């Protein structure tokens, strides 16, 4: 039954394997460089039975995972971890031997390496025209709107007091809000910090919005595709089961290197993000920090549906935009699929927001601390939740606005300098007041 070598397996089923998984299979042979040829066959037989590979298996039909359980019984080193609810896929650990059997199945559409995803941190609000936003004399603060921060967690900071509406931990299984990295807390403040301990100085645009912490990244800001997808699906399910409150916006300040799939929605992370969008949740995702090269937009930011956010350096001059430039690190478009990205750019350089004491970043970036309660960070990670906060203002003004209407107003309301490349600047510099004005029409 198991006639192929591991390399032959990667070649024969290349159409069913994503590129990272093909490369991973070939990399299994690296130890062969340092072992005698006489034991290569024996070593390969052992690896085919024992080497565990983290994968995501996609099916043509939703119930495909049930048939896969029969394969699991035949391989003691194989384990199915999680069946996704909204996309026809599951996460698993498989051996090359089990993988060959899986690939032979007609109900299996594609197998992806469960690759690593990380927080998009590079080692504001007044500039975005998002301070003191008012329409017809009514101030907008994000009140009544909920933003899910899918990240490293949220520390219960004084600037978020009484507004952490929910918390779930897919990394360590804890129930009370915490953040052992610090990235998610900073992002929560970028969107919704009220500046209570800075007399309003360091305040996010949606300073009365609620936040929900969805911890999918570990202490060092890393995770895998399946955990991110579970976090997004949890947000969708939260809305289906919660009677009183719902998540209006998902902020994704994370991502992984995009892959040249035949179509953008072959990417499982894109599938999950677009499913949330289709369910009525506005999804804001970071463009990535792989600039200044072109074609460096991260996944899921490659999605044509969701809002992809690049980072701008406003030079700390909110009064003028003449000196503003795209941040050197901000990823550029187009995507592999010819889609112009990012959609919009938002301040993302030297952003002061909430500090999570004793977290990983707090310990290793002491130079970025601003007093006792704040710290400065840069990245499309910071630009994304600021954009999410602006979306919260828009939804407070027009609660029944659809994700497509929000995206359209953001882009049409943006300010674009003359002769600027849309694959660098997108539609232009976010302008909260103008975007909300367009919703009013």
So which residues are the catalytic ones?
A: 151, 183, 381
* Residue 54 CB neighbour total at 10 angstroms: 19
379's torsion region: left (phi>0), alpha (psi -120 to 50) or beta?
left
* Residue 438 CB neighbour total at 10 angstroms: 16
Q: Dihedral sign for Cα 354, 357, 360, 362, please.
A: positive
* Closest CA relative to residue 188, chosen from 173, 168, 206, 171: 206
Q: Kindly write down the DSSP assignment for every residue of 9-29, as one continuous string.
A: HHHHTGGGB-HHHHHHHHHTT
Q: Dihedral sign for Cα 413, 418, 422, 424, please.
A: negative
Take residue 266 and report the two structure tokens written for it.
Answer: 């072959």
Residue 63 three-state SS = coil
* Distance set, CA 324 to CA 127, 309, 381, 399 (Å): 10, 16, 19, 32
Helix axes 403-412, 432-440, angle to 10 degrees: 120
Q: Kindly write down the DSSP assignment for every residue of 226-283, as one continuous string.
A: HHHHHHHHHHHHHHHH-SS----EEEE-EEB-----SSGGGSHHHHHHHHHHHTT-EE
Strand partners, 252: 285
Name the burial class of residue 338, with classes exposed (0-12), middle (13-18) and buried (19+) by CB atoms within 10 angstroms of its CB. Answer: exposed
Helix axes 96-103, 64-74, angle to 10 degrees: 140
CA distance 145 to 228: 22
CB within 8 Å of 375: residues ≥ 6 apart: 182, 186, 352, 353, 354, 355, 361, 362, 365, 368, 369
Q: Do residues 207 and 131 lie in contact, with contact meaning Cβ atoms separated by under 8 Å?
A: no
* Closest CA relative to residue 285, chosen from 120, 100, 402: 120
Take residue 368 and report the two structure tokens written for it.
Answer: 């970025």
């Amino acid at each position: 039954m198991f006639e192929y070598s591991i390399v032959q397996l990667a070649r024969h089923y290349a159409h069913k394997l994503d590129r990272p998984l093909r490369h991973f299979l070939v990399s299994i042979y690296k130890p062969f460089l340092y072992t005698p040829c006489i034991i290569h066959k024996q070593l390969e037989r052992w690896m085919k039975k024992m080497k565990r590979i983290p994968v995501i298996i996609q099916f043509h039909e939703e119930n495909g995972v049930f048939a896969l359980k029969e394969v699991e019984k035949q391989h003691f080193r194989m384990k199915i971890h999680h069946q996704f609810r909204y996309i026809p896929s599951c996460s698993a650990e498989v051996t090359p031997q089990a993988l060959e059997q899986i690939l032979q199945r007609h109900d299996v559409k594609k197998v992806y390496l469960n690759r690593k995803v990380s927080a998009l941190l590079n080692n504001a609000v007044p500039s975005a025209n998002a301070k003191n936003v008012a329409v017809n004399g009514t101030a907008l603060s994000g009140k009544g709107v909920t933003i899910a921060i899918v990240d490293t967690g949220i520390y219960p900071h004084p600037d978020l007091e009484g507004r952490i509406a929910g918390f779930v931990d897919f990394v360590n299984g804890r129930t009370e809000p915490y953040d052992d990295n610090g990235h998610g807390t900073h992002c929560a403040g970028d969107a919704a910090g009220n500046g209570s301990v800075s007399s309003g100085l360091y305040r996010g645009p949606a300073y009365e919005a609620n936040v929900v912490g969805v911890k999918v990244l570990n202490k060092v800001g890393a995770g895998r595709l399946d955990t991110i997808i579970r976090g997004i699906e949890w947000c969708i399910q939260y809305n289906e089961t919660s009677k009183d409150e719902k998540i209006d916006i998902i902020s994704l300040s994370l991502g992984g290197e995009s892959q040249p799939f035949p179509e953008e929605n072959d990417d499982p992370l894109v599938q999950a993000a677009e499913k949330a969008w289709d369910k009525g949740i506005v999804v804001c995702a970071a463009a990535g920090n792989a600039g200044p090269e072109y074609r460096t937009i991260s996944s899921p930011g490659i999605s044509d549906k969701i809002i992809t956010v690049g980072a701008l350096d406003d030079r700390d001059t909110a009064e003028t935009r003449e000196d503003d430039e795209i941040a050197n690190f901000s990823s550029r478009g187009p995507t592999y699929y010819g889609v112009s990205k990012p959609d919009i750019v938002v301040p993302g350089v030297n952003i002061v927001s909430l500090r999570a004491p004793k977290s990983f970043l707090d310990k290793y970036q002491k130079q970025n601390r601003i007093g006792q309660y704040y710290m400065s960070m840069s990245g499309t990670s910071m630009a994304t939740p600021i954009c999410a906060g602006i979306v919260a203002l828009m939804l407070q003004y027009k609660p029944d606005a659809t994700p497509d209407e929000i995206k359209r107003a953001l882009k049409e309301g943006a300010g674009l300098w003359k002769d600027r490349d849309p694959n660098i600047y997108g539609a232009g510099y976010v302008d909260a007041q103008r975007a909300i004005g367009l919703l009013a029409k």
